[in-house]
């Protein structure tokens, strides 16, 4: 080695030693509330050293990533509804989540086609009844159409996304003709015009306006912790084990996808895998009384309050694809009139 070559090699080595390490990062676009995600994000960074650059959006996430195109910095897109995540996938702005941990942890029905999105938490839409006036512990969704509930059933608007997803799941399982009959029958049972919020149906059970209603599970959890009049609403209701006939419970989900042009794909996979781990699943699910996706998580708040959940096996991708048709059926039968 010549003196000149040796000096060049020494200079190069010196530069390599002096160069600072490049910190890993991942860019997260989400429509979830910061208070729900920030504890998990902070834990992820502490445990992995990967910084999360979070962009919290009220809406328009899909449109923003599409507008940014190939130069989009988005790595992970996290949203709160199966219709929203499926629309993102259908827009062609995702790529498969390639992970053995995801395949092992998340049931196929809770993943998109080709793993183009992955569920992270679940919320069930179940039946609640008057604790004092109704003496049963389990029910099928079909039983809501029983004439014995005439003038006793309360529900928010049929076009609300929560009910739209439920009706779409019913449609995916049973077809249009049976779904139309079901919608007509439960409309005939309502105690009042469909409307208000999910917590309002618990209020109306307490007042005696209705005996039976349908509600998202996390509202039950939130009311159980209330220090105002909602505590009384919670104490007036009894959650029933609710399933499709021959199936499981209808769920909606929060879900994540990796952006098609993700600049930090490896970190994106690590973030999704971390959020499916027992520590993060408990933190994330407890933030809003949602159900964890990871079946090994037994101590989440919703599980302790309401018991274990057995989601229906109808693929959520099929549910999402039936939402438009379900909405049209709601209008056809004049459900919200």
| pLDDT tens-digit map of 22-48 | 469 999 999 999 999 999 999 999 999
Pick from 5-19, 26-40, 219-233, 259-273: least confident: 5-19
Cβ atoms of 258 and 264 closer than 8 Å: no
Instruction: Give the whole-angstrom CA distance, residue 194 versus residue 116.
Output: 35
28 contacts 45 by C-beta, under 8 angstroms: no
Confidence at residue 299, expressed as pLDDT on a 0 to 100 scale: 85
pTM: 0.88
Distance CA 19, CA 166 (A): 55
Judged by average pLDDT, the poorest of 22-26, 46-50, 149-153, 261-265 is: 22-26
Among 25-39, 150-164, 293-307, which is the least confidently predicted range? 293-307
Nearest-angstrom CA–CA distance, 292 and 315: 17
**Cα dihedral 86, 87, 91, 95 sign:** negative
**Any idea where the domains of the chain sit in the sequence?**
21-122+252-300, 123-249+320-332
Whether residue 9 has pLDDT greater than 90: no
Q: Which helix (H) or strand (E) holds 107?
A: none
Query: In this predicted model, what pLDDT tens digit does every residue of 175-193 receive, in sequence order?
Result: 999 999 999 999 999 999 9
Domain 21-122+252-300 matches domain 123-249+320-332 at the CATH topology level: yes
Angle of helix 34-48 relative to helix 278-286, nearest 10 degrees, comes to 160
Rg (CA), the chain: 24
Residue 114 CB neighbour total at 10 angstroms: 12
Q: How far apart are CA 313 and CA 329, in angstroms?
A: 23
User: What is the architecture, at CATH level 2, of domain 123-249+320-332?
Assistant: 3-Layer(aba) Sandwich (3.40)
Mean pLDDT, residues 92-99? 98
For domain 21-122+252-300, the CATH superfamily is Periplasmic binding protein-like II (3.40.190.10)
Name the token pair of 176: 């249009």
């Amino acid at each position: 080695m010549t003196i000149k070559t040796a000096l060049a090699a020494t200079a190069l080595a010196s530069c390599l030693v002096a160069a600072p390490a490049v910190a890993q990062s991942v860019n997260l676009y989400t429509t979830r509330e910061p208070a729900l995600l920030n504890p998990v994000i902070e834990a992820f960074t502490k445990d992995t050293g990967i910084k999360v650059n979070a962009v919290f959006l009220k809406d328009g996430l899909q449109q923003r990533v599409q507008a940014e195109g190939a130069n989009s910095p988005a790595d992970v897109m996290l949203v709160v509804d199966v219709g929203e995540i499926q629309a993102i996938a259908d827009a062609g702005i995702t790529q498969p989540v390639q992970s053995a941990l995801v395949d092992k942890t998340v049931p196929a029905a809770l993943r998109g086609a080709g793993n183009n999105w992955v569920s992270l938490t679940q919320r069930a839409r179940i039946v609640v009844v008057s604790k004092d006036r109704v003496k049963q512990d389990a029910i099928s969704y079909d039983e809501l159409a029983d004439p014995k509930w005439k003038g006793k059933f309360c529900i928010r608007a049929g076009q609300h996304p929560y009910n739209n997803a439920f009706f779409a799941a019913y449609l995916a399982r049973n077809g249009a003709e049976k779904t139309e009959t079901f919608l007509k029958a439960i409309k005939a049972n309502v105690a009042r015009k469909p409307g208000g919020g999910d917590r309002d149906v618990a209020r109306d059970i307490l007042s005696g306006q209705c005996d039976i209603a349908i509600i998202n599970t996390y509202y039950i959890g939130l009311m159980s912790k209330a220090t105002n009049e909602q505590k009384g609403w919670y104490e007036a209701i009894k959650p029933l084990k609710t399933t499709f006939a021959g199936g499981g419970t209808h769920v909606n989900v929060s879900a994540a996808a990796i952006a098609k042009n993700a600049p930090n794909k490896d970190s994106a996979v690590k973030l999704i895998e971390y959020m499916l781990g027992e520590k993060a699943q408990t933190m994330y699910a407890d933030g809003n009384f949602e159900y964890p996706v990871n079946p090994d998580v037994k101590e989440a708040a919703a599980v302790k309050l309401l018991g274990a959940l057995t989601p229906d096996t109808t693929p959520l991708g099929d549910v999402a694809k039936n939402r438009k048709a379900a909405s049209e059926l709601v209008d056809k039968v004049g459900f919200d009139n």
